[in-house]
Amino acid sequence: MGFFKTTREFIDSQYKTPRGIIGTYIGEKMVRQHKAETNWSLELMNIQKGDRILELGCGAGYAVKSISEKDLAEEIVGLDISPTIIRSARIRNKKAISEKRVKLVQANFNKLPFHNENFNTVFSIQTIYFWTDITTTLSEIFRVLKPRGIVILTFSDGKEDETWEGIRGITENQVIPSMKKTGFRDVSFVRGPDSRGYHTVAIKGTKN
Protein backbone atom coordinates (compact mmCIF):
# COMPACT_ATOMS: atom_id res chain seq x y z
CA MET A 1 0.00 0.00 0.00
CA GLY A 2 2.87 2.35 0.78
CA PHE A 3 4.26 2.10 -2.75
CA PHE A 4 0.89 2.70 -4.42
CA LYS A 5 0.13 5.64 -2.12
CA THR A 6 3.49 7.20 -2.89
CA THR A 7 2.98 6.66 -6.63
CA ARG A 8 -0.48 8.24 -6.50
CA GLU A 9 0.83 11.24 -4.60
CA PHE A 10 3.64 11.64 -7.14
CA ILE A 11 1.21 11.56 -10.07
CA ASP A 12 -1.10 14.07 -8.35
CA SER A 13 1.84 16.39 -7.75
CA GLN A 14 2.74 16.14 -11.45
CA TYR A 15 -0.71 17.42 -12.39
CA LYS A 16 -0.22 20.36 -10.02
CA THR A 17 3.37 21.17 -11.03
CA PRO A 18 4.62 19.01 -13.94
CA ARG A 19 8.33 18.21 -13.75
CA GLY A 20 10.85 16.45 -15.96
CA ILE A 21 10.05 13.87 -18.63
CA ILE A 22 6.94 12.65 -16.83
CA GLY A 23 5.79 16.24 -16.41
CA THR A 24 6.18 16.84 -20.15
CA TYR A 25 4.06 13.75 -20.85
CA ILE A 26 1.43 14.89 -18.31
CA GLY A 27 1.30 18.32 -19.98
CA GLU A 28 0.57 16.81 -23.39
CA LYS A 29 -1.93 14.42 -21.86
CA MET A 30 -3.80 17.37 -20.32
CA VAL A 31 -3.92 19.08 -23.72
CA ARG A 32 -5.69 16.04 -25.17
CA GLN A 33 -7.98 15.55 -22.18
CA HIS A 34 -9.12 19.15 -21.83
CA LYS A 35 -9.66 20.22 -25.45
CA ALA A 36 -13.46 20.25 -25.17
CA GLU A 37 -13.60 22.50 -22.10
CA THR A 38 -10.78 24.66 -23.45
CA ASN A 39 -12.55 25.30 -26.75
CA TRP A 40 -15.79 26.05 -24.88
CA SER A 41 -13.99 28.50 -22.59
CA LEU A 42 -12.55 30.34 -25.59
CA GLU A 43 -16.05 30.68 -27.03
CA LEU A 44 -17.21 32.27 -23.76
CA MET A 45 -14.46 34.87 -24.02
CA ASN A 46 -15.78 36.57 -27.17
CA ILE A 47 -12.32 37.89 -28.08
CA GLN A 48 -12.25 41.33 -29.71
CA LYS A 49 -9.62 42.98 -31.90
CA GLY A 50 -6.86 44.47 -29.76
CA ASP A 51 -7.66 42.51 -26.59
CA ARG A 52 -4.93 41.65 -24.11
CA ILE A 53 -5.46 38.21 -22.60
CA LEU A 54 -3.89 36.33 -19.68
CA GLU A 55 -4.20 32.60 -19.03
CA LEU A 56 -3.37 31.41 -15.52
CA GLY A 57 -2.06 27.85 -15.69
CA CYS A 58 -1.37 27.83 -19.42
CA GLY A 59 -0.07 24.25 -19.35
CA ALA A 60 1.52 23.14 -22.62
CA GLY A 61 0.09 26.17 -24.43
CA TYR A 62 -2.88 24.79 -26.40
CA ALA A 63 -5.30 27.59 -25.45
CA VAL A 64 -2.66 30.27 -26.02
CA LYS A 65 -1.99 28.88 -29.52
CA SER A 66 -5.71 28.67 -30.31
CA ILE A 67 -6.16 32.33 -29.37
CA SER A 68 -3.12 33.48 -31.34
CA GLU A 69 -4.41 31.70 -34.45
CA LYS A 70 -7.57 33.86 -34.36
CA ASP A 71 -5.26 36.85 -35.00
CA LEU A 72 -7.42 39.23 -32.94
CA ALA A 73 -5.67 39.70 -29.60
CA GLU A 74 -2.93 42.30 -29.33
CA GLU A 75 -1.13 40.33 -26.64
CA ILE A 76 -1.57 36.84 -25.18
CA VAL A 77 0.28 35.90 -22.00
CA GLY A 78 0.43 32.39 -20.63
CA LEU A 79 1.52 31.95 -17.02
CA ASP A 80 2.41 28.75 -15.25
CA ILE A 81 4.40 27.78 -12.16
CA SER A 82 6.11 24.84 -13.88
CA PRO A 83 9.29 25.47 -15.92
CA THR A 84 8.78 22.06 -17.55
CA ILE A 85 5.35 22.96 -18.86
CA ILE A 86 6.46 26.45 -19.91
CA ARG A 87 9.10 24.77 -22.07
CA SER A 88 6.41 22.70 -23.80
CA ALA A 89 4.23 25.79 -24.30
CA ARG A 90 7.23 27.62 -25.77
CA ILE A 91 7.72 24.88 -28.36
CA ARG A 92 4.01 24.87 -29.27
CA ASN A 93 3.93 28.67 -29.65
CA LYS A 94 7.40 29.25 -31.11
CA LYS A 95 6.22 31.25 -34.14
CA ALA A 96 3.85 33.55 -32.20
CA ILE A 97 6.53 34.15 -29.55
CA SER A 98 9.07 35.14 -32.23
CA GLU A 99 6.46 37.56 -33.61
CA LYS A 100 6.01 38.97 -30.09
CA ARG A 101 2.27 38.18 -30.06
CA VAL A 102 2.65 35.61 -27.28
CA LYS A 103 4.59 35.82 -24.04
CA LEU A 104 5.10 32.98 -21.53
CA VAL A 105 5.85 33.68 -17.88
CA GLN A 106 6.78 31.40 -14.98
CA ALA A 107 5.20 32.78 -11.81
CA ASN A 108 2.85 32.11 -8.91
CA PHE A 109 -0.85 32.93 -9.05
CA ASN A 110 -0.64 34.79 -5.74
CA LYS A 111 1.71 37.47 -7.09
CA LEU A 112 1.13 38.23 -10.74
CA PRO A 113 4.09 40.07 -12.32
CA PHE A 114 1.97 42.52 -14.33
CA HIS A 115 0.94 46.16 -14.12
CA ASN A 116 -2.50 47.20 -12.87
CA GLU A 117 -5.34 47.17 -15.41
CA ASN A 118 -3.30 45.41 -18.09
CA PHE A 119 -5.71 42.75 -19.47
CA ASN A 120 -9.19 42.64 -20.98
CA THR A 121 -9.63 38.98 -20.05
CA VAL A 122 -8.09 36.64 -17.49
CA PHE A 123 -9.02 32.98 -17.72
CA SER A 124 -7.99 29.71 -16.13
CA ILE A 125 -8.95 26.14 -17.00
CA GLN A 126 -8.83 23.21 -14.58
CA THR A 127 -6.54 24.94 -12.05
CA ILE A 128 -8.87 26.08 -9.30
CA TYR A 129 -8.32 22.82 -7.36
CA PHE A 130 -4.68 23.81 -6.84
CA TRP A 131 -5.13 27.42 -5.70
CA THR A 132 -3.38 27.94 -2.38
CA ASP A 133 -5.00 31.28 -1.52
CA ILE A 134 -8.31 31.94 -3.26
CA THR A 135 -8.77 35.47 -1.89
CA THR A 136 -5.27 36.60 -2.87
CA THR A 137 -5.46 35.10 -6.36
CA LEU A 138 -8.83 36.73 -7.03
CA SER A 139 -7.50 40.08 -5.77
CA GLU A 140 -4.54 39.76 -8.13
CA ILE A 141 -6.84 38.92 -11.05
CA PHE A 142 -8.98 41.94 -10.23
CA ARG A 143 -5.90 44.17 -10.04
CA VAL A 144 -4.51 43.22 -13.46
CA LEU A 145 -7.88 43.41 -15.24
CA LYS A 146 -8.93 46.57 -17.02
CA PRO A 147 -12.26 48.16 -16.07
CA ARG A 148 -15.07 46.07 -17.59
CA GLY A 149 -12.57 43.23 -18.04
CA ILE A 150 -13.82 39.69 -17.51
CA VAL A 151 -12.57 36.64 -15.66
CA ILE A 152 -13.53 33.07 -16.60
CA LEU A 153 -12.67 30.15 -14.31
CA THR A 154 -13.43 26.78 -15.89
CA PHE A 155 -13.35 23.51 -13.96
CA SER A 156 -15.19 20.24 -13.37
CA ASP A 157 -17.57 19.72 -10.45
CA GLY A 158 -18.67 16.15 -11.06
CA LYS A 159 -18.73 13.17 -13.37
CA GLU A 160 -21.77 11.53 -14.97
CA ASP A 161 -24.43 11.29 -12.21
CA GLU A 162 -22.07 12.33 -9.42
CA THR A 163 -21.56 15.88 -8.13
CA TRP A 164 -18.33 16.56 -6.28
CA GLU A 165 -19.66 18.28 -3.18
CA GLY A 166 -16.18 19.33 -2.07
CA ILE A 167 -15.52 21.30 -5.25
CA ARG A 168 -19.08 22.62 -5.38
CA GLY A 169 -18.75 23.76 -1.76
CA ILE A 170 -15.47 25.58 -2.42
CA THR A 171 -16.91 27.43 -5.40
CA GLU A 172 -20.23 28.34 -3.77
CA ASN A 173 -18.88 29.15 -0.30
CA GLN A 174 -15.45 30.60 -1.13
CA VAL A 175 -14.85 31.51 -4.77
CA ILE A 176 -18.13 33.24 -5.63
CA PRO A 177 -18.42 35.17 -2.32
CA SER A 178 -14.74 36.21 -2.60
CA MET A 179 -15.28 37.43 -6.15
CA LYS A 180 -18.21 39.59 -5.10
CA LYS A 181 -16.32 40.93 -2.09
CA THR A 182 -13.31 41.73 -4.27
CA GLY A 183 -15.53 43.86 -6.50
CA PHE A 184 -16.53 41.64 -9.41
CA ARG A 185 -20.09 42.14 -10.64
CA ASP A 186 -22.42 39.95 -12.70
CA VAL A 187 -20.84 36.87 -11.14
CA SER A 188 -22.50 33.85 -12.72
CA PHE A 189 -22.21 30.07 -12.82
CA VAL A 190 -22.30 28.65 -16.36
CA ARG A 191 -22.76 25.01 -17.33
CA GLY A 192 -20.84 23.80 -20.37
CA PRO A 193 -20.65 20.53 -22.33
CA ASP A 194 -19.61 17.35 -20.56
CA SER A 195 -16.09 16.23 -21.43
CA ARG A 196 -15.28 12.52 -21.11
CA GLY A 197 -18.25 12.31 -18.73
CA TYR A 198 -16.98 15.14 -16.53
CA HIS A 199 -19.24 18.14 -15.91
CA THR A 200 -17.75 21.31 -17.38
CA VAL A 201 -18.68 24.52 -15.56
CA ALA A 202 -17.33 28.05 -15.34
CA ILE A 203 -17.62 31.04 -13.04
CA LYS A 204 -17.67 34.36 -14.87
CA GLY A 205 -17.33 37.85 -13.47
CA THR A 206 -16.78 41.42 -14.67
CA LYS A 207 -14.61 44.08 -13.10
CA ASN A 208 -16.50 47.25 -12.22
- Burial (CB count within 10 angstroms: exposed 0-12, middle 13-18, buried 19+), residue 3: exposed
User: Over the stretch 151-204, which tens digit does the pLDDT of each residue have?
Assistant: 999 999 999 999 999 999 999 999 999 999 999 999 999 999 998 899 999 999
pLDDT at 11 over 90: no
| Structure confidence at residue 9 as a pLDDT band (50, 70, 90) | very low
CATH number of the domain bearing residue 21: 3.40.50.150
The rounded distance, in Å, linking the Cα atoms of 116 and 82 is: 24
Which residues form the domain of 117? 2-207
DSSP string, 99-147: TTSEEEEE--TTS--S-TT-EEEEEEES-GGG-S-HHHHHHHHHHHEEE
Structure pTM?
Answer: 0.85
Number of domains in the chain: 1
Radius of gyration, alpha carbons of the chain? 17
User: Over the stretch 33-78, which tens digit does the pLDDT of each residue have?
Assistant: 778 899 999 999 999 999 999 999 998 899 999 999 999 999 999 9
